[in-house]
A and B are shown apart, each in its own frame.
Chain A
Amino acid sequence: MQPGQLLPAFRLEDASGASVTFPSDRPALVCFVKDDCPTCHLVMPVLDALHRAFTDEMDFFIAGQTREGNEALTDTFAPSFTILDDSSLKVSFAFGMDTVPSLFLAGADGKLDRALVGFVREEWQGLSELLGERSAAGAEPDLDWEALPEWRPGCGSLSVDPLIADRLRAEAENSPLRARKIEIAPADDEFEFMFDQGFSDGLPLVPPTPERVMRMLSGTRRDPQEMLGLMPPNMGEVTVEKAAINAVMAGCRPEYLPVVLTALEAVLTEAYNIHGVMATTMGASPVIVVNGPIREKIGMNMKLGALGQGNRANATIGRAVRLAVRNIGGARPGGTERSTLGNPMKFTMCFAEHEERSPWDPLHVERGFEPSDSVVTVFTMTSGPTLIVDQDFRRASQLAGSFGLSLESAFHPKAHFATDVVLVVCPEHVDTLIRDGYGKADIRARIQEVTARPLVDLVENEVSAVGFKKAAFDAMDEDGRGRMLPKFKSPEDIHIVVAGSDAGKFSGAFHGWATGEIGSIPVSKKIEEA
């Protein structure tokens, strides 16, 4: 605080319940102390002497930071003033100080004259002299300054204790929080309450208290009220604050928040079509892939068990996105979420690509970003990871052939041109593919080659009605009927990423949903603040 600055006004009570108000119409000395601080003990007799000398000409506001501490200080020093109760720490917080003792000398107008922090004998003695000069009697208190140490550092103010400061920031008048506050009665269990309110995906949630949400917001530089978009079906406004609340409930750490925010921006695009993804009876859900330096920075798993449980970042980022869709958008099973069977990915599905183990351009570079960018890509998938088991291959052509034959099952073996897939290639499979010089384009071409079927094999028949309609087929000429159709409409519908542990010849695949304009298009977004 600078001299001349208006100090925060306040009203405090002493132990007897009598209240005092600052500023009054007289000059004032405001000082914050706490009992477990040796430097505060050092200044108590000095404050007492100043009070005795100048109490007729100015007001003294000596505030302690705990009730028990105030009693102890009173017992120990029997000061001539009563210690005010700032155990809520709101006034300490408003004064913005880090240290006790902190002393503020104010004019009758409530503006700062000078401030002292800790104990520097010369400064405190100077203050005493100044007050003496200003007083009518012109006399200073009789203090043996030489008996006091030249300098003692102060102690940390309780108002900056990390466990308390977030609550104080959340409660302050200029708090960035705008969300409705819900008070849970002491007799209610907050975990049960959140289940009852329908906030949960079926698993327990972390209560999004204001202090936890403030801590979560420390993970981003973005304004808490910035709008990320409108979440269907209720077209709820997705603000950074609302996203942070859901991220707290999901169990995220603050450093994950930029990934959550970017993933939400990606699913809120028209191309991604989150409304259809949630409403479909097929049971689709976002699959989130993270690339770039942020993977390491926040400790994501891209190695052993990357697609499974056990890593907090992977698990909670995906869950935060899902909870935001549920709570802000209002998509709930039985409401606008109509999945016939559901899908465990609807709890969470997020992992990082093991770029360092890949000989190929990672996903985000393929999709037009710089290798040094941190990028979130969202796919819409209905099942997976479906394991691709081939432990017998000797050549890349055989292995990529196995990928193709396994991918035949996406939707239905007779459903060609119907969907896209995310193929997750494990490191042991990568090694064989590199040895034979296979790039991603070669893998895609081989999959298309081994899955190509003559149209006649893909027509609806007695075994299965899935496939091309017989009437359309009958209307075709000989060339049309003999045409070979690969599994995927375009090689680009095969999205390839690398993940998994070094041991094990098991790749995996997520099978897609309605692909392209008709349904959902994968979206990649750079994490700008990574």
Chain B
Amino acid sequence: MTTILDPTDERVPVTRQLSPRTGEITGTVALLDISKPRGNVLLDRLEALLSERLPGIRIERYAKPTFTKPAPDALRAEIYEKSDFLIEALAD
């Protein structure tokens, strides 16, 4: 029997659960641009389509300072506090 030592961090990643799907979109929808080239083009189009189809919702635009790093905590907190839905444009 060979014994080896675990090279990993020995932690099981947290399984994230999907938010409940209510079947309708209301309230505020946040659109987050990760700041990659042309991500704004996709979000502009989405914003137009959403406004057309769901005139009752409010749309807020956000952007990460750089696509290479996770969103700053303050930005995440702001989006969480002010929004009911979030769409993130990866641009890849």
Q: Which residues of A contact B (CB under 8 A)?
A: 177, 179-186, 190, 194, 199, 207-210, 213, 231, 234, 236-237, 241-242, 245-246, 249, 273, 275-276, 279-281, 323, 327-330, 338, 514, 517-520
Contact = CB atoms under 8 A, between A and B. Distances in A.
B1 A184 contact: yes
Contacts of B66: 276, 514, 517-519
A171 to B, nearest CB: 9
Interface stretch (B8-16, B19-27, B44-52, B77-85): B8-16
A190 B7 contact: no
Given A280-B68, A514-B66, A517-B66, A327 B8 contact: yes
Of B2, B11, B66, B67, the most chain A CB neighbours within 10 A belong to: B2
B5 A177 contact: yes
Nearest to A181: B3
B2 A179 contact: no
A201 to B, nearest CB: 12
Contact of B68 (A186, A338, A520): A520
A328 B13 contact: no
Contacts of A213: 5
Contacts of B5: 177, 179-182, 208-210, 213, 241, 245
A474 B9 CA distance: 53
A330 B1 contact: no
Contacts of A183: 1-3
Contacts of B73: none
B68 A276 contact: yes
A182 B3 contact: yes
Contacts, number: 89
B66 to A, nearest CB: 5
Interface residues of B, number: 18
A190 B92 CA distance: 39
B53 to A, nearest CB: 30
A330 B13 CA distance: 9
A245 to B, nearest CB: 5
Given A184-B1, A186-B1, A330 B69 contact: no
Nearest to B92: A281
Contact of A327 (B3, B7, B70): B7
A328 B9 contact: yes
A338 B90 CA distance: 12
B42 to A, nearest CB: 16
Contact of B3 (A209, A234, A280, A329): A209
Contacts of A281: 92
Contact of B6 (A179, A231, A273): A179
Q: Could you say which of B1, B7, B9, B92 has the most chain A C-beta atoms within 10 Å of its C-beta?
A: B7
B74 interface: no
19 contacts: A182-B3, A182-B6, A186-B1, A194-B4, A207-B2, A209-B2, A209-B5, A210-B5, A236-B9, A237-B9, A242-B7, A245-B5, A245-B7, A275-B70, A279-B68, A280-B68, A281-B92, A328-B8, A330-B8
Contacts of A190: 2, 4
A281 B9 CA distance: 25
B50 to A, nearest CB: 26
Contacts of A179: 5-7, 10
A518 B66 CA distance: 6
Given A181-B3, A210-B3, A236 B11 contact: yes
Contacts of A185: 1
Contacts of A338: 92
A311 to B, nearest CB: 24
A259 to B, nearest CB: 18
Given A210-B3, A237-B9, A281-B92, 19 more contacts: A179-B6, A181-B3, A181-B6, A182-B3, A182-B6, A183-B1, A183-B3, A190-B2, A190-B4, A207-B2, A208-B7, A234-B11, A241-B5, A273-B69, A327-B9, A328-B7, A330-B9, A330-B13, A517-B66
